[in-house]
Amino acid sequence: MKQSPINIKNKRATFDYELVETFTSGIMLTGTEIKSIRLGKASLVDTYCAFEGKGLWVRNMHIAPYFYGSYNNPDSRRDRKLLLNKIELKKIRRLTKETGYTIIPVRMFINEKGETTITDINFQEREIKDHLIYEGPTDPTITGSFGNIFRYKNFRLNAFMTYSFGNVIRLDPIFSNRYSDLDATPKEFKNRWTMPGDENITNVPVIADRRLNNRYSQLNYAYNAYNYSSARIAKGDFIRLKEVSVSYDFPKDVISHLKMSDMSLKLQATNLFLIYADKKLNGQDPEFFNTGGVAAPVPKQFTLTLRFSL
C-alpha cells in the first residue's frame, strides 16, 4: 500500500523572515513519534534550532503522543537532534556566529527512503523592524581642512589640519561569548560588567566563562546582538593634525662659506594625532572606518630632509 505524503510546514516562517540559505537534514526520532508524524500529528509553529555541544537540535517542535504508545511516548516538545555531517554543522555554526541569523525549521517530510526529514533555513527578519534605530548617515556631511604658515627669521612652522563631521560609525564587533589566547582585548574590557548591579553603570558585557556557555547554548546570539546594537555606535566627527613641519634656512654667510647657493633643513610629521574624536572610539581611528575596514590604519610618518644646491 502506498504511503500518503507527509508535508508539514511552518507557515509563519516565510512570512516573518527572509530566506538566506537552506539545509535539509534527517532528524532523530523514536518509533512512536514517527507514527504520529505519519498521521500528521506534528507542528513546526514557534520552533527553532540551536547548537548544543557538537550537535544542532530542534527545539519546541510539537509531536502529539501516539495514541497506542502508552508509556513509550516521549515528551511532546522535547529537543530533537538533527542528523547533519561535520561540514554542514561547521558552515551553519559559522553563519550564525558571524551574522546572528536565526535557524528555523520550515518543512518536515518523509523522503523517498521513508526517512523523516526536516528543512532548516537561516533567516534574517524582514517584516519585524520595530527594533531598528536610525542613528545617522555613514558618510560625513561636512569635510574640510585648515592650514597656516608661521615665520620667524629663518624658521618656518607649517601646520595643516583636516576635519570631518556629521556621520556615525559602527565600532568593531569585538565582543564574543568565547575568547582564545589569540584574541586581542580592547580597552572596553576594563569597564565590563563583573558584579550584580554593574548593569546600572556600564553596558559592556561580562567575559563569559565555561559555566555560562554550558548553561546558555545560544549565548553567542546575545553578544552578536550587542555588537550590532545602538550601544556600539559612535560619532565619526574628528579633527586631525594632518601635517606639521619646521624648516630652517641657513644664513647666506654660512652657505657661501660652504660654497653652496642654498641650503635648508626640514623636519616633517604626518598624521601626528587626533585633536578631537568621540571618546567611545577608545583609540580606534575614525578615518579607518570610512575605508570600510579593509585598508591599513592611517600611519604616523616622520621625515627629515636636507636640501642644498651648488
pLDDT tens profile 63-77: 888 877 666 678 888
**Per-residue pLDDT, 182:** 81
Beta bridge partners of 163: 144, 239
Please check the confidence at residue 265 and state whether its pLDDT lies above 70: yes
Please check the confidence at residue 165 and state whether its pLDDT lies above 70: yes
Please give the backbone phi and psi of residue 271, each rounded to the nearest 5 degrees, phi first: 55, 55
- 175 CB contacts (<8 Å, ≥6 apart)? 205, 223, 226, 227
* Residue position matching grid coordinates 574590557: 189
**Per-residue pLDDT, 3:** 46
| Greatest mean pLDDT among 28-37, 50-59, 107-116, 121-130 | 50-59
Q: Are 59 and 79 in contact (CB under 8 A)?
A: yes
131: pLDDT confidence band, cut at 50, 70 and 90? low
CA distance 113 to 210: 41
CA angle 27, 28, 34 (to 5 degrees): 90
Please check the confidence at residue 157 and state whether its pLDDT lies above 90: yes
**Per-residue pLDDT, 248:** 94
Cell (9 digits) for 252 = 647666506
Q: What is the pTM of this model?
A: 0.54
Task: Give SS3 for 209.
Answer: coil
Cell (9 digits) for 287 = 578615518
CA distance 266 to 306: 6
Mean pLDDT, residues 44-53 taken together: 86
- The DSSP element (H or E) to which 136 belongs, if any, is none
Q: Over pLDDT 90: what percentage of the chain? A: 21
> What amino acid is encoded at 309 in this protein?
S
Task: Give SS3 for 150.
Answer: strand
**Per-residue pLDDT, 214:** 81
Task: Dihedral sign for Cα 104, 214, 172, 230, please.
Answer: positive
**Per-residue pLDDT, 5:** 64
**Per-residue pLDDT, 4:** 45
| pLDDT tens readout for residues 73-119 | 788 889 999 888 888 888 888 888 777 778 888 888 877 676 666 66
CA distance 10 to 22: 14
